[in-house]
């Protein structure tokens, strides 16, 4: 039986449901994530698009990552909650912010990425695998 994750933005205008397992979880310290996370990292779970149902209006912002890929960040236009991101290199995947998932989920970062861009005061969990920049690609299925 597939896992079921639910979530919503801070104001409740955007609701989500995921019927499937996360294919990866990461803490990201890239500069773009630091900017949208008020200086810290983002903590993310990656799901297949086919497993996700979203209800509610989202706004988005797009920029080019250091990899050259286009990143699109989707957020609630009413409250500003970051909901998910998507890369042009992996359109079959959606990267959800752990904070948008309802309390009680069992997800936590399995790796820390883009550590080269972290500030000198950043603290990394020594139990997690670290990548100075982009980690290897996750499996397609």
Give residue-wise pLDDT tens across range 81-91.
Answer: 999 999 999 99
Res 139: pLDDT: 65
Look at the block and give the residue holding tokens 């920049």: 133
Is the Cα dihedral 95, 99, 100, 103 positive or negative?
Answer: positive
**Bridge partners, 27 (sequence order):** 43, 112
CA distance 53 to 72: 18
Domains, the chain, in order of start with CATH, read: 4-131 (2.170.150.70)
Give residue-wise pLDDT tens across range 33-83.
Answer: 899 889 999 999 999 999 999 999 999 999 888 778 899 999 999 999 999
Look at the block and give the residue holding tokens 């980690």: 135
| Residues 55 and 6: beta-carbon distance below 8 Å | no
Classify 121 as helix, strand or coil.
coil
Q: Which of 69, 82, 73, 68 is nearest to 14 (CA)?
A: 82
Is it the case that residue 141 has pLDDT exceeding 70?
A: no
Give residue-wise pLDDT tens across range 6-37.
Answer: 999 999 999 999 999 999 999 999 988 899 88
CA distance 36 to 5: 23
pLDDT (average), residues 107-117:
95
| Residues 46 and 24: beta-carbon distance below 8 Å | yes
């Amino acid at each position: 039986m597939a896992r079921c994750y639910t979530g919503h933005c801070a104001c409740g205008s955007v609701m989500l449901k995921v019927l499937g397992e996360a294919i990866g979880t990461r803490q990201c310290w890239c500069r773009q994530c630091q900017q949208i996370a008020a200086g810290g990292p983002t903590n993310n779970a990656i799901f297949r698009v086919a497993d996700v149902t979203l209800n509610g209006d989202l706004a988005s912002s797009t920029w080019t990552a250091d990899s050259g890929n286009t990143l699109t960040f989707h957020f609630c236009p009413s409250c500003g909650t970051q909901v998910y991101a998507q890369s042009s290199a992996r359109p079959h995947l959606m990267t959800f912010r752990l904070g948008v998932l309802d309390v009680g989920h069992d997800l936590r970062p399995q790796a820390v990425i883009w550590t080269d861009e972290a500030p000198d005061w950043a603290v990394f969990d020594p139990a997690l695998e670290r990548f100075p920049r982009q980690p290897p690609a996750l499996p397609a299925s």
